[in-house]
């Protein structure tokens, strides 16, 4: 993807956001609108959101509800599953060292966060850096990212694990007790960088749920995913249309959200390739309609749903316009020709 597009992160980063701010007496929808984050992103874990928008949302929300450790609280919701195949790969590595290295190597598929495992002597530092400037200086994002990293290690190492010490590159809060309680160790603020400190024996500990048989399959999935991410935008649009049609939410806005792009940016990418979203949507519907009618016994109503139509009548009108006949007549003719 071209670097003229905003740096993005998976919408999974906001898992638990709505419930948390609601419990603190605020309306999550209003906060999302103010930060220009689509409400639909909360129900679409594959959506991509501009990092700057997420940072604005968290800072605004923390101030609105009077909760200076909002990002830290939100980080408690982070799970290995939020990293898809990368999380599965880490879970099936033999020990914590290899698991963290796997996450570090593939983190770029999810976000602009960089994990750097530094081993020296008897000490180990798991450094956490955000490459987007606004996020790197946002206290709430720092809390979310470092707190989320703690949760990742705990899912691999055990829920009772805690680091020896933590450094945070954010101003010291008025009350540091929630941080010491959350990390279970001394916490230093106003640091030059973010890091969790642990021991060499920590890294040597086996991952309890590791299964080497599944590891190779997870590795293949990650490599395939990386190849998909590197494909041209127009090719990914065509694939997403096929995937999203049955949901009834296959709009240009939602496809752009999945790609982490603004609609105008997506429109420009497609125009450069001599394509349009409407044209690709129409082509996909024609292709799938022919395939379903000719090769399956699905009802006309079921096929309508698979092509994104909530009513069979709307599908029938589209089909007559696209093919010049009724869908049932087209199916009968196709079957006689076989």
Predicted TM-score of the model (pTM): 0.71
Residue pLDDT, tens place only, 16-45: 999 999 999 999 999 999 998 988 888 887
- The conformation of residue 1, written as its DSSP 8-state character, comes to -
The C-alpha atoms of residue 81 and residue 152 are separated, in whole angstroms, by: 10
Separation between Cα atoms, residue 291 and residue 11, nearest integer Å: 33
Domains of the chain and any CATH numbers: 68-222 (no CATH), 231-336 (1.10.10.60)
Gyration radius from the chain CA atoms: 24
The separation between CA 119 and the C-alpha centre of its own chain, rounded to angstroms, equals 29
Q: Which residues contact 13 (CB under 8 A, 6 or more apart)?
A: 49, 54, 82, 111, 144
Contact 110, 10 (CB under 8 A): yes
pLDDT > 90 fraction of the chain, expressed in percent and rounded: 48
Q: From CA 270, how far away is CA 266, in angstroms rounded?
A: 6
Is residue 2 over pLDDT 50? no
Per-residue pLDDT band for 3 (boundaries 50, 70, 90) equals very low
**In terms of C-beta density within 10 A (0-12 exposed, 13-18 middle, 19 or more buried), how is residue 64 classed?**
middle
pLDDT at 228: 62
Burial class (CB in 10 A: 0-12, 13-18, 19+), 208: exposed
pLDDT band at 1 (very low <50, low <70, confident <90, very high): very low
**What does the pLDDT average to over 147-164?**
94
Q: Closest Cα partner for 182 from 72, 271, 274, 321?
A: 72
8-state DSSP, 6? P
Predicted confidence band of residue 335 (pLDDT cuts 50, 70, 90):
confident
Six-digit token string for 139: 């206290």
Residue whose pair of structure tokens reads 């609280």 in the numeric block: 73
Each residue's pLDDT tens digit, 160-197: 999 999 999 999 999 999 999 999 999 999 998 899 99
Q: Which residue has the tokens 């703690």?
A: 150
Q: How far is CA 220 from CA 86, 101, 239, 263, 305, in A?
A: 10, 17, 19, 32, 32
Report yes or no: 89 and 47 within 8 Å, Cβ to Cβ.
no
Side-chain-side CA neighbours of 331 within 13 Å: the count stands at: 17
The mean-pLDDT minimum among 107-121, 223-237, 241-255 falls in 223-237
Residue 263: band (very low, low, confident or very high) from pLDDT cuts 50, 70, 90:
confident
Measured between alpha carbons, how far is 287 from 281 in angstroms, rounded to an integer?
Answer: 10
Dihedral of alpha carbons 279, 280, 286, 287, sign: positive
In whole angstroms, how far apart are CA 159 and each of 52, 90, 297? 31, 16, 50
What is the biggest distance separating any 2 CA atoms in the chain, rounded to whole angstroms?
A: 77
Question: What are the helix (H) ranges across the chain?
Answer: 17-23, 28-34, 51-65, 70-75, 84-91, 96-106, 133-136, 139-157, 177-183, 200-204, 212-229, 233-244, 252-259, 263-272, 277-295, 300-306, 312-323, 327-336
What's the DSSP call for residue 95? Answer: B
pLDDT higher than 90, residue 291: no
């Amino acid at each position: 993807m071209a670097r003229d597009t905003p740096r993005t992160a998976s919408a999974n980063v906001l898992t638990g956001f709505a419930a948390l701010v609601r419990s603190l007496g605020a309306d999550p929808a209003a906060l999302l609108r103010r930060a220009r984050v689509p409400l639909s992103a909360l129900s679409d874990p594959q959506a991509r959101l501009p990092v700057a928008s997420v940072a604005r949302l968290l800072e605004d929300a923390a101030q609105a509800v009077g909760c200076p450790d909002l990002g830290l609280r939100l980080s408690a919701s982070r799970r290995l599953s939020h990293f898809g195949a990368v999380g599965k790969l880490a879970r099936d590595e033999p020990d914590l060292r290899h698991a963290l290295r796997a996450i570090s190597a593939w983190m770029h598929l999810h976000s602009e966060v960089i994990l750097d495992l530094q081993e020296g002597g008897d000490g180990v530092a798991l450094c956490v850096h955000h490459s987007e400037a606004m996020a790197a200086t946002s206290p709430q994002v720092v809390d979310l990212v470092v707190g989320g990293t703690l949760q990742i290690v705990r899912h691999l190492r055990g829920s009772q694990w805690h680091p020896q010490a933590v450094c945070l590159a954010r101003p010291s809060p008025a009350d540091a007790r929630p941080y010491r309680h959350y990390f279970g160790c001394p916490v230093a603020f106003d640091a030059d960088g973010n890091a969790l400190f642990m021991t060499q024996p920590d890294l040597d500990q086996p991952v309890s749920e590791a299964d080497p048989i599944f590891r190779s399959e997870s590795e293949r999935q990650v490599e395939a995913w990386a190849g998909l991410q590197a494909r041209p935008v127009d090719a990914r649009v065509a694939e997403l249309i096929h995937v999203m049609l049955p949901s009834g939410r296959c709009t240009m806005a939602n496809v752009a959200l999945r790609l982490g792009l603004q609609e105008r940016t997506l429109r420009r990418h497609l125009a450069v390739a001599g394509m349009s979203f409407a044209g690709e949507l129409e082509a996909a519907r024609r292709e799938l309609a022919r395939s379903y009618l000719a090769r399956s016994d699905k009802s006309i109503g079921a096929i309508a749903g698979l092509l994104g139509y909530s009513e069979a009548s709307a599908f029938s009108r589209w089909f007559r316009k696209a093919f010049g006949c009724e869908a049932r007549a087209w199916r009968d003719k196709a079957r006689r020709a076989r």
